[in-house]
A and B are shown apart, each in its own frame.
Chain A
Amino acid sequence: NAGVTQTPKFRVLKTGQSMTLLCAQDMNHEYMYWYRQDPGMGLRLIHYSVGEGTTAKGEVPDGYNVSRLKKQNFLLGLESAAPSQTSVYFCASRASAHYGYTFGSGTRLTVV
Chain B
Amino acid sequence: DQQVKQNSPSLSVQEGRISILNCDYTNSMFDYFLWYKKYPAEGPTFLISISSIKDKNEDGRFTVFLNKSAKHLSLHIVPSQPGDSAVYFCAASVFVNTDKLIFGTGTRLQVFP
**Is A74 part of the binding interface, using a Cβ–Cβ cutoff of 8 Å?**
no
**Is B16 part of the binding interface, using a Cβ–Cβ cutoff of 8 Å?**
no
Contacts of B34 in A (CB 8 A): 100
Distance, CA A48 to CA B101, complexed state (A): 11
Contacts of B46 in A (CB 8 A): 100-102
Distance, CA A33 to CA B98, complexed state (A): 13
Contact A48–B99 (Cβ < 8 Å)? yes
Mark contacts of A37-50 with chain B using CB atoms, 8 A cut-off: 1 yes-contact digit, 0 otherwise: 00011111100101
Interface core residue of A31, A35, A45, A100 (most chain B CB under 10 Å): A100
Total residue contacts A-B, CB cutoff 8 A = 56
Contact A42–B44 (Cβ < 8 Å)? no
- A47 CB, min distance to chain B CBs, angstroms: 10
Given the known inter-chain contacts A31-B99, A100-B34, A100-B49, please indicate yes or no for A42 contacting B43, CB distance below 8 A: no
Interface size class of A (residues with CB under 8 A): 20 to 34
**Is B42 part of the binding interface, using a Cβ–Cβ cutoff of 8 Å?**
yes
Contact A33–B103 (Cβ < 8 Å)? no
- A9 CB, min distance to chain B CBs, angstroms: 9
Closest B residue to A96 by CB, please name it: B98
Distance, CA A59 to CA B4, complexed state (A): 13
Contact A40–B9 (Cβ < 8 Å)? yes
Mark contacts of B61-101 with chain A using CB atoms, 8 A cut-off: 1 yes-contact digit, 0 otherwise: 00000000000000000000000000001010100001111
Distance, CA A101 to CA B49, complexed state (A): 12
Distance, CA A97 to CA B36, complexed state (A): 17
Contact A35–B41 (Cβ < 8 Å)? no
Closest A residue to B2 by CB, please name it: A42
Q: Which of A4, A31, A44, A48 contacts B43 (CB 8 A)?
A: A4
B residues touching A (Cβ–Cβ < 8 Å)?
A: 4, 6, 9, 32, 34, 36, 41-46, 49, 89, 91, 93, 98-106
A sample of 13 more A-B contacts (CB under 8 A), given A33-B100, A45-B102, is A41-B105, A42-B103, A43-B89, A43-B91, A44-B103, A50-B99, A90-B43, A90-B44, A97-B99, A98-B98, A101-B101, A105-B41, A105-B43
